[in-house]
Amino acid sequence: MLHMIPLGGLGEIGLNAMVLACRGEMVLIDAGLMFPSEAAPGVDIIIPDFSHLRQNASQLKGIVLTHGHEDHTGALPYLLSEVPVPVYGTRFTLAMARQRLDELGVIADLREIEPRTPFPVGSVFTVEASRVTHTVPDAVGYIFRTPEGTVIHTGDFKLDPDPIDGLRTDLERWGEAGDQGVLCLLSDSTNSEFTQETGSERVVEQTFDRLFREAQSRIVVALFASNLHRVRTVLKLAEQSGRRVALQGRSMTRNVEMARQLGYLDVPESLFIPLESAPSLPPNRLVLLSTGAQGETRAGLAQIAARNGPVKLEPGDMVVLSSRPIPGNERSVGALLDQLHWTGARIVYAQVEPGVHVSGHASQPQQRRVLDIVRPRHFIPVHGELRHLHRHLATARESGLAPAQLLLAQDGDLITFEEGQARFAGSVPVGRVHKDLYSGGVVTPEALQERTKLAETGLVVAAVVIDRASLALMAGPQLSGHGLSLDEQVLLPRIADEARSLFLQLSPQLRGDDALVREEVTRSVRRAFKLFTAKRPLVVPMVVKV
């Protein structure tokens, strides 16, 4: 009997973590994180709830990584600190994972693998990586051979006929597995709504070549620091055009240096100059390669837009945002574009120049091609929000799969395969764990609710002074408001008078109980607020006895 248990990634973009379990052993595919929305104040990252793995730690025999993006590797340190098991991945993927592990001081058993070379994970699973084209080097999918049959997990992929590194998605190997019989295919659903072929990275290379020839002054290029195929294009064009390159953003500097050390970027050291030296170069001799194309407020491009860095944009400069806004980031990217336009520079982005970005994910025609080649007995769409999974299922139906072969799973589902048949067999506990921006600790749902309420209603500190002997109210409540509107601040004296009248209804005999007094102060202030405004802010009571 084979079980599949998605702990994340089915219903959201991020948190990718899929468990395969058979005969008392488990293997985990990826351990990703997700970045929070504005609705989660003070939260740095979100990781899956790994309680199922912690409770069955002796059964987990290893983790296999598809590629180095944080939505697939970012939760590794938090899992490995509690459940230390071997981690398998390609050379560059492990190098990116090691950076994150080193930052958090987590020691891990990292084991490098090669595509098309099977390796055991535990005594049950035989695993084989198959190369795929994505936006980061060394990305792979996996072929799992189990006692119940063969399972293929594509990882994040697209079908690029002419990738920058020359390494195409290994459809031949998937086809060979399909000829032998595949029990289940799990395939990337991110671009399932797109009906046009996902473009080749060569399109971006050609667009950048033209833009570099058109540019008369500085060129600023902002993109994901992990997209080293595109970074390589920018560095090559800079070298050909006689420009020097400055790097802005910690992750950009770190990834370029790592890729050069590992041999993924073959460019001379003389091509680079320190960021601080960039203003001394003639503008037509500089390329600034930066993070921040998603509108992140602390990233390199935001600093450039705010004129906080050494390079100040001028009319005639060119700024290229080489990415597509991640869902949820549209407003922050739009605000950044507005700010950049005020500098007078030429701003180039995908909506006005489509060729500056192509996706790293397969669209409908490419997803259909994989389904036709593999011909799986069962199909589970993965890596996407619910609408992406639904659309991918429709593509599978169009490819000829019957409804009984299609499984729409969500996080926590327990899917069982036995004698070639699949069924849903219950669920396991799953959820999202919010990590605090400053302490790194867990932010509970209750704390997150309080933070949200603080942002919506503000805070009032209410202090009362009580005579210790007579228990008479000597002063207060004295109110101090935080996050209130001007009208509410003006009303505070009247609200305090009303709250005092309400508090005095508490008999002196009961004022000896400090907990009861704090509760009554809170109730009185909230009731008084309700009389004058529609808002009921959070109240922090302070009781002083003299």
What is the per-residue pLDDT for 532?
83
Helix (H) or strand (E) holding 3: strand 2-8
User: Where does 37-193 show beta strands of DSSP type E?
Assistant: 43-48, 60-64, 87-89, 110-112, 119-121, 125-131, 140-146, 149-153, 184-188
Measure Cα distances from 32 to 21, 97, 305, 345, 449 in Å: 19, 11, 31, 37, 24
CA distance 478 to 462: 6
Tell me if 66 sits within 8 A of 97, measured CB to CB: no
H or E stretch covering 460: strand 459-466
Please indicate, yes or no, whether residues 26 and 157 belong to a single structural domain of this protein. yes
Domain limits for position 316: 201-354
Which of 319, 354, 389 finishes a domain?
Answer: 354
Q: Which ranges of 70-200 does DSSP label H, i.e. alpha helix? A: 70-73, 76-80, 91-103, 171-180
User: What DSSP line would sit under 174-186, residue for residue?
Assistant: HHHHHHH--SEEE
For residue 146, pLDDT over 70 is answered with yes
Whether residues 159 and 187 share a domain: the answer is yes
444 domain-assigned: no
44 pLDDT tier (thresholds 50, 70, 90):
confident
DSSP secondary structure, 303-346, as one string: HHHTT-SS----TT-EEEE-S-PPTT-HHHHHHHHHHHHTTT-E
Other CB atoms within 10 Å distance of the CB of residue 381:
27
Average pLDDT along the chain: 92
In a 13 Å sphere around the CA of 335, the CA atoms on its Cβ side amount to 10
As given in the structure block, the two tokens for residue 384 are 């996407």
pLDDT higher than threshold 60 for residue 241: yes
Same domain membership, residue 541 and residue 393: no
Last residue of a domain, which of 301, 323, 354? 354
42 located within any domain: yes
Structural domain total, the chain:
3
Same domain (yes/no): 348, 228: yes
More confident residue, 389 or 506: 389
pTM: 0.88
- Amino acid identity for residue 350 in this structure: A
Domain ends where: 322, 338, 354? 354
Q: Exposure string (b/e) for 75-87, b if CB count within 10 Å is 16 or more?
A: bbbbbbeebebbb
pLDDT band at 538 (very low <50, low <70, confident <90, very high): confident
Q: Which two three-digit tokens encode residue 127?
A: 């695993």
| Same domain, residue pair 30 and 100 | yes
Task: Looking at the structure, tell me whether residues 532 and 391 fall in a common domain.
Answer: no
211/167 same-domain check: no
pLDDT digits (tens, 9 = 90+) for 305-350: 988 889 999 999 999 999 988 777 788 899 999 999 999 999 999 9
Radius of gyration, CA atoms only, the chain: 28
Higher model confidence: residue 68 or residue 522?
68
Note whether 121 and 265 are same-domain residues: no
**Percent of the chain at pLDDT above 70?**
98
Which tens digit of pLDDT belongs to each residue from 441-466?
787 777 777 777 777 788 888 888 88
Nearest Cα residue to 182 out of 2, 336, 60 = 2
Q: Please name the helix (run of DSSP H) or strand (run of DSSP E) that holds residue 531, with its range, or none.
A: helix 514-532
User: CA 127 to CA 89: how far, in whole Å?
Assistant: 11
